Structure 1
């Protein structure tokens, strides 16, 4: 005769086993990502969008929790904290870590378009199809950090910046203590006689209000207006060379990344690649709206950058690139790769984009006449 008690116990055990299997299959991996900027910044908003894509693609198995700058460690300790596993992830611009390796600049903000005319779209072509991604993966080994990086948010060209008074020449520019990015882009300003001061984004407005600096750059109309620079400075220059290309990235502790399933890893990669396009599209719309408000509501005066800036900065940037290539083998490898790509890609891309630039300029001029 069938033992019903045995059947009941067996069924219960089977159900428990299936529940445990289901629980294991749907276990959530939480990756805390500390940003180097406030949660209100546009870049952090786009990071949250990337995080949602990953969660959706993995059915909630991989969840990114975005933390504000300074939540666990200081901004400058972000990458080290990811490396050690103190936090599972970080969000910043790779040129922030140029002190660990000079080649970080060639990925985060290749000064003056790496000296080969790359804009943010051409840079993405090099990164995805010209060997850049493989070199980017190698960068972390060159730095000696236990990190897996993903490029998320290309931008550029960034604005020259904000000033108290109009600048009509480099002689005028040199009168100001100017916030710049860290690494070679900022050093290049020093090389042409600018009093360059590197600091994090959240420190810029307080420094302007205190008079520690009296001119500044950060990014573009929308991020700049979020930080509130228009409250203290009214003269704005859109055309700059220091960050014609700039990329914000997410860094994940490599042990944490390797613990994910291949499908979860692929979801992060796919979401990151989607973010490259989504962030460029987002920025064009948001920066256009922000610039319109800055000029028509906030009293900001838009200027063209002095002509002598371009030759001085470009010449100094090329010298910096050549010096670093001579001193560091991996830097040279990356820069050579960018130059090899640019030899054929840039003549095509620059030539074809001339029509777009002229068309856009003509329309902008029409709007001015209305």
Structure 2
């Protein structure tokens, strides 16, 4: 009788635990700032699927495209206020809320100290960047927990109707740029910079509102269809040598999560940092081959006088913002301190890699 009673009690406890676990499972509604077809969303879903698997289903996610609940510009506000559970964007989208967001999302010209996308990860994970990133949301007065997910870079200079051989040629064009300091820096060197969202670029090119543009890299650019309008493509640019997309959760909701759920988010985010970079290298390579081989796109080297002009203006912009904002100055100083140690080694090592790669690229011509 005791054995039967114990079996019944055990079964009841198991049932209660199962029901309780099912009831505690939650589906987080997450709005992105881009369309559902974008590569960034594909990588985002890889991240959220990993979290779901690691938590054995206690955290699930519904990924919604831009505008599903609020406008793109209201995404961070909506996460902060709990109107949506989580969001996905690029950190520099919020530079209007705090200029230091740019130093995490797109540190202009490699933060002016030679930090590329891989070196940025070193700073973020081991040079104090993550701790400053967590502080950013407090500085902005936001109830948000953020996770860096997708480092990209370097971004292409962009697309043009005709070849540009100098800055004088460049200045003839109305040029779509990112918002914030990277775009303002173009204005500072005499380029007619026009900031607009990704979905507006191709219609603006077709309508003649702008006549040159940058977005990202070969794969995303091809997805947007720039090759339908423009044929002259320049890979080397300084405005976004590093670009980072990140994921935001309402802070109060994150605090209520279990230790395992929090660890799952951390582990999946760290995995995404590596996987997204690996994914980009191959996908961009395939896209560049298709653009030049099938769509008549002509690849050019960026004019030499672009680099000193843009770098000088970028450093001036960084110094100006550091003088105005103490937290901006703190983050930038951290990046400069890191760069003084890491960049001489990393840039020197990369010279070998670049020459090795270019030697192979020459054989393909």
* TM-score, shorter chain, exceeding 0.5: yes
State the SS of the aligned residue for 2:305.
Answer: helix
The separation in 2 between residues aligned to 1:34 and 1:43, in whole angstroms, is 13
**Structure 2 residue aligned with 1:32:** 29
* Structure 2: segments with no counterpart, 5+ residues: none
CA-to-partner distance for each residue in 1:29-63, whole Å, 9 max, x for gaps?
21111111111111111101111111111111111
The separation in 1 between residues aligned to 2:296 and 2:349, in whole angstroms, is 36
The separation in 2 between residues aligned to 1:261 and 1:162, in whole angstroms, is 47
Once superposed, what is the RMSD of the aligned Cα atoms? Answer: 1.6
Q: Does 1:201 align with 2:210?
A: no
Q: What is the aligned length? A: 363
The separation in 2 between residues aligned to 1:206 and 1:305, in whole angstroms, is 25
CA-to-partner distance for each residue in 1:244-294, whole Å, 9 max, x for gaps?
000000011111111110110100010000000000100000000000000
Which of 298, 301, 304 in structure 2 is aligned with 1:301?
298
The equivalences for 1:180-219 within 5 A come to 180-219=177-216
**Structure 1 residue aligned with 2:149:** 152
TM-score by length of 1: 0.95
The equivalences for 1:23-172 within 5 A come to 23-26=19-22, 27-172=24-169
**Structure 2 residue aligned with 1:346:** 343
**Structure 2 residue aligned with 1:177:** 174
Q: Does 1:289 align with 2:286?
A: yes
State the SS of the aligned residue for 1:282.
Answer: helix
CA-to-partner distance for each residue in 1:137-176, whole Å, 9 max, x for gaps?
0000000111100000001000000111111111111111
The separation in 2 between residues aligned to 1:248 and 1:224, in whole angstroms, is 17
CA-to-partner distance for each residue in 1:106-158, whole Å, 9 max, x for gaps?
00000000011000000000000000000000000000111100000001000
**Structure 2 residue aligned with 1:365:** 362
The separation in 2 between residues aligned to 1:235 and 1:182, in whole angstroms, is 23
Displacement, 1:25?
Answer: 2.3
**Structure 1 residue aligned with 2:227:** 230
CA-to-partner distance for each residue in 1:170-210, whole Å, 9 max, x for gaps?
11111111111111001101111111111111111111111
The separation in 2 between residues aligned to 1:23 and 1:359, in whole angstroms, is 59
The separation in 1 between residues aligned to 2:99 and 2:20, in whole angstroms, is 43
The separation in 2 between residues aligned to 1:84 and 1:236, in whole angstroms, is 42
Displacement, 1:18?
Answer: 3.6
Stretch deviating more after TM superposition (254-263 or 239-248): 254-263
TM-score by length of 2: 0.97
**Structure 2 residue aligned with 1:20:** 16
The separation in 1 between residues aligned to 2:20 and 2:180, in whole angstroms, is 45
The separation in 1 between residues aligned to 2:19 and 2:113, in whole angstroms, is 52
